[in-house]
Chain A
Amino acid sequence: MTQWFNRRSLGAGIKACALQVSMFVITILGLLLVTFVIGRVVPVDPVLVIVGDRATAEVYARVHAELGLDKPVYQQFLIYLYKVMQGDFGTSVLSSQSVARDIAAFFPATIELAVTGTLIGVLLGVPLGVMSAVRKDSLLDQVVRVVALVGYSIPIFWLGLVGLLVFYVKLDWVAGVGRIDAVYEYIIERETGFVLLDAMLHGQWDIFRNFLSHLALPGALLGYMSMAYIIRMTRSFMLEQLVQEYVVTARVKGLSEWRIVMHAFRNVLAQLITVIALSFAYLLEGAVLTETVFAWPGLGLYITNSLFAADMNAVLAGTTVIGVCFVLLNALADALGRFFDPRTRSVRT
């Protein structure tokens, strides 16, 4: 019987896995199709973006044909899809370089910011959210709620500029905009694309410290935004749990407050993981304004600039990368959720 159970379990696992993979493929295909169509219907002439206003009719016609714009849209999409499957995302009209190479250069900068922001958000947001729920309506709760509300409602663009004025110009605690000081652009050895790692690998400790100083402010700002969101969600999940009957029972049985909180916390963990994963995914492409203010050459800024310039190869590739990240993070959150919350696992007898 055990063997039968394992086989059945294995079969179900393969089935579930196949379902996940096919969902993944369909999602990415849908994403590519929608972005491609949007790129073709926006009232921007991609040929003009490349050749400029002053090109002759011959130059215009040649580039129009080179881009394949003389073919029907469905053919253009199929050609694009065929190339993407071979790993060729085309050339960016803005940088004249392969889009894959551009993304390899811009994505690490985004990861650096998103990881820092999420770390700060989780390390501060989760405990504060829990404490705020446990001490509901106390002074601590009021303060935490105001902090979260401010973080949620103030435009990050404005906060970034004020942060620069105070901490960079007035107090001189942190470095200014960009990933490193301009002078280091000249000497940094690039290998992984992550400044921190590259600096360490080559023993360039000046650059390492300089990078941390540059990262501090935008990282803290995104961390604050992320924290505000995580606090609100954690507090709300915990409040929901703390009024459940099992909590009342535990209190009646005389369990310590700490053990009750931990018990309730285990039950919000699955939801919280989804919130954190989505918050991280948001920071991957949603940090455009932070990247603009801090001249941080990240993917969000890359996609936005490309979109305004009708650089559709870049937009499609960037959107695909973000889409893949979203889908993978969702899958990861689901898996972790199942691990932490036995109720979501299917029960077999």
Chain B
Amino acid sequence: MSMKRWKQVLGAAVIAAAVGGAGPVQAATPADTLVMARKIDDIKSLDPAEVFEWGSGEIINNLYVRLMTYDPHDFSKLVGGAVESWQVSDDGLTYELKIRKGIKFQSGRELTARDAEYSLRRVIHLAKTPVFIFQQLGWTKDNVADMVRAVDDGTLVIKVAKSYSPSLVVSCLSAGVASVIDSEEVRKHEENGDYGYNWLKTRSAGAGAYRLVTWKPKDAVVLESNPDFYLGAPPLKRFIVRHIPEPSAQRLLLQAGDVDIARDLGPDQIKASRSNPDLRVDVFKKVNTYYVGLNTKHEILANPKVWEAFRWLIDYQGMADSFLDGYFAVHQSFLTGDMGLAENPYRLDVEKAKKLLAEAGYPDGFSIDFLVANPAPFPDIAQSMQATFAQAGVKLNLVLRDQAQVLAAYRARGHELAFARWSPDYLDPHSTAEFFVRNPDNSDASTNKSAAWRNAWDIPELSAMTEQAMLERDPEVRKQIYKDEQKVVQENSPIIMMFQLVESTVSRKNTSGFTPGPGFDTAVFWNTRKTK
């Protein structure tokens, strides 16, 4: 910059500061723009082959059209996204998918089966974290060219290694990795065989309701509507997700009208928002669950009587009605919704727990470490448990650690008791069952890091049942297997299911239509609208 320009800038600054002052500049969100406050510092990439975080998962759901998707008005219905219809061969090994006509990418090109073929093969070749969703169908780098094939522009044929439950296969096609990307656009930016990864991770090349304008890490994601979106142009032209890490600040911004939706308010703030006439609290049950894992490598924790005693020492309802109100709901099985168990049989009953502990040989209780991550409300839950466990003589030593440290210790079986959470990778029950009731190798060297393995719960029979459910093609039989497995986990396992996440979204009253959906990456922005 020239000296003259600097002088102009300096002069202008002085004048503007003097004249403009630092008074408030009210720029309440415009009618065609929605501003959402959210903690989005977990976004690492926006490439659908890699995305596996909360912040980015829901962004790509709105940038891309997935092969299959969920009806935003009823998330129990899996419907076609880029796929208009599909057929499964009699042997259950081949799926013929007809691609919907008239879907246009942000580049203006029409989406075809060739794009879908490129997108799915790319996931296998890039082999980022969520690749296991497709690998479990038997796809590898060596065979994916044969397993995933576009017959013509309108037909994609995929093959799977075993005759899996069709529900499982189409559910995998609703995951973020099944987002269809504009193959021509991405190919233009390929470098050294990276499938355009370095380019796409900070950009978009999709046919979703929005296109990415900019992503500033730990600051903001700015989206602009796609007027050619196949379900109709979104009512709002711009959608801005702003990183506001502090829940109190989110609430103040919402109250002042500088944001339209706040996503991360705590229980107290949600409660206060209910009495504010300008705000509305919408409650959505998520598929995320919270549980305590008991490492059975510890002698005391290997005793099933102790497992049961612990179940009666937790004040589930007391917590849900007080500091977890509007945040967690009591839920004592590992699946949620229609697939979960309706009953929550356990409640705080100290006498029953004492009796069980005496039968287990610990009438005077014992002392045990409880590993807990430090973000709210986990320490509060741990303290409540500490108080109720003490009534039966069990001393819980709280070990509060950062989330990353807790995860590292829990994955290495380095805990005694651990408070943990679970979020399904996709909405088929297999995703969750595989985590809780599959442990094919209980040795320390196992590469399978399921919850059953982490807690050293050796379950060959249940593991076989989980494999069977994966292949079961009759939906009712499959459902019954999962119910039976949940009953075992609920009553006789070192895994104590406690809560289900409830997302309380607080919005300005003039905003409607935003749907977070049940999963971590199911939020739908395109239906959101504002009235004046």
A294/B249 contact (C-beta < 8 A), A52-B53, A55-B132, A201-B9 known: yes
Contact B242 A295 (CB under 8 A): yes
User: A4 contacts which chain B residues (CB < 8 A)?
Assistant: none
User: Among residues 401 to 425 in chain B, which have CB atoms less than 8 Å away from a CB atom of chain A?
Assistant: 402-405, 407-409, 411, 425
User: Among residues 124 to 181 in chain B, which have CB atoms less than 8 Å away from a CB atom of chain A?
Assistant: 127-132, 135
User: B128 contacts which chain A residues (CB < 8 A)?
Assistant: 59
Contact of B25 among A57, A161, A206, A293 (CB under 8 A): A206
- Bound form: Cα–Cα A169–B26 in Å: 12
User: A277 contacts which chain B residues (CB < 8 A)?
Assistant: none
- Bound form: Cα–Cα A125–B385 in Å: 50
Contact B253 A52 (CB under 8 A): no
- Bound form: Cα–Cα A52–B425 in Å: 12
Contact of A43 among B12, B129, B242, B409 (CB under 8 A): B409
User: Among residues 1 to 41 in chain B, which have CB atoms less than 8 Å away from a CB atom of chain A?
Assistant: 1, 5, 9, 12-13, 16-17, 20-27, 29-30, 33, 35, 41
Contact A292 B255 (CB under 8 A): no
User: Among residues 231 to 275 in chain B, which have CB atoms less than 8 Å away from a CB atom of chain A?
Assistant: 238, 240, 242-246, 248-249, 252-253, 255-256, 258-259
Contact B16 A205 (CB under 8 A): yes
Which stretch from B216-224, B335-343, B359-367, B459-467 is at the chain A interface? Answer: B216-224
User: Among residues 201 to 249 in chain A, which have CB atoms less than 8 Å away from a CB atom of chain B?
Assistant: 201, 205-206, 208-210, 212-213, 215-216
Whether a CB of chain A sits under 8 angstroms from the CB of B52 is yes
Q: In chain B, what residue has the closest Cβ to A57?
A: B447
Q: Which of B128, B214, B255, B411 has the most CB of A within 10 A?
A: B128
A302/B256 contact (C-beta < 8 A), A181-B27, A182-B240, A205-B20 known: no
CB distance from B139 to the nearest CB of A (A): 13
Interface of A is mostly: helix
Whether a CB of chain A sits under 8 angstroms from the CB of B45 is yes
User: B130 contacts which chain A residues (CB < 8 A)?
Assistant: 54
Whether a CB of chain A sits under 8 angstroms from the CB of B213 is yes
Whether a CB of chain B sits under 8 angstroms from the CB of A3 is no
Whether a CB of chain A sits under 8 angstroms from the CB of B44 is yes
CB distance from A156 to the nearest CB of B (A): 13
A182/B259 contact (C-beta < 8 A), A54-B130, A213-B24, A305-B41 known: yes
Contact B408 A44 (CB under 8 A): yes
Whether a CB of chain A sits under 8 angstroms from the CB of B202 is yes
User: B244 contacts which chain A residues (CB < 8 A)?
Assistant: 177-178, 295
User: B409 contacts which chain A residues (CB < 8 A)?
Assistant: 43
Contact of B402 among A48, A302, A308 (CB under 8 A): A308
- Bound form: Cα–Cα A57–B201 in Å: 23
Contact A54 B44 (CB under 8 A): no
A173/B249 contact (C-beta < 8 A), A96-B45, A200-B12 known: no
- Bound form: Cα–Cα A247–B296 in Å: 77
User: A50 contacts which chain B residues (CB < 8 A)?
Assistant: 44
User: A105 contacts which chain B residues (CB < 8 A)?
Assistant: 216-217
- Bound form: Cα–Cα A305–B242 in Å: 16
Whether a CB of chain B sits under 8 angstroms from the CB of A331 is no
Contact of A212 among B12, B20, B29, B411 (CB under 8 A): B20
- Bound form: Cα–Cα A309–B404 in Å: 7
Contact A44 B405 (CB under 8 A): yes
- Bound form: Cα–Cα A59–B27 in Å: 46
- Bound form: Cα–Cα A1–B129 in Å: 75
User: B222 contacts which chain A residues (CB < 8 A)?
Assistant: 185-186
User: A53 contacts which chain B residues (CB < 8 A)?
Assistant: 407, 411, 449
CB distance from B96 to the nearest CB of A (A): 29
- Bound form: Cα–Cα A53–B222 in Å: 28
Interface size classification for chain B: 35 or more
Contact B253 A184 (CB under 8 A): no
- Bound form: Cα–Cα A161–B244 in Å: 13
- Bound form: Cα–Cα A200–B20 in Å: 13
CB distance from A9 to the nearest CB of B (A): 35
A102/B404 contact (C-beta < 8 A), A172-B24, A295-B246 known: no
Contact of B404 among A49, A164, A165, A181 (CB under 8 A): A49
Contact A93 B402 (CB under 8 A): no
CB distance from B257 to the nearest CB of A (A): 10
CB distance from B33 to the nearest CB of A (A): 6
Contact B402 A182 (CB under 8 A): no
CB distance from B226 to the nearest CB of A (A): 16
Q: Which of B129, B202, B214 has the most CB of A within 10 A?
A: B129
Contact A175 B255 (CB under 8 A): no
User: Among residues 165 to 222 in chain B, which have CB atoms less than 8 Å away from a CB atom of chain A?
Assistant: 201-202, 213-214, 216-220, 222
User: A177 contacts which chain B residues (CB < 8 A)?
Assistant: 244, 246, 249, 252-253
Contact A169 B52 (CB under 8 A): no
Chain A 21-53 per-residue mask, 1 if CB under 8 angstroms from chain B, else 0: 000000000000000000000111100111111
Chain B residues close to A by CB (< 8 Å) = 1, 5, 9, 12-13, 16-17, 20-27, 29-30, 33, 35, 41-45, 52-53, 127-132, 135, 201-202, 213-214, 216-220, 222, 238, 240, 242-246, 248-249, 252-253, 255-256, 258-259, 402-405, 407-409, 411, 425, 447, 449
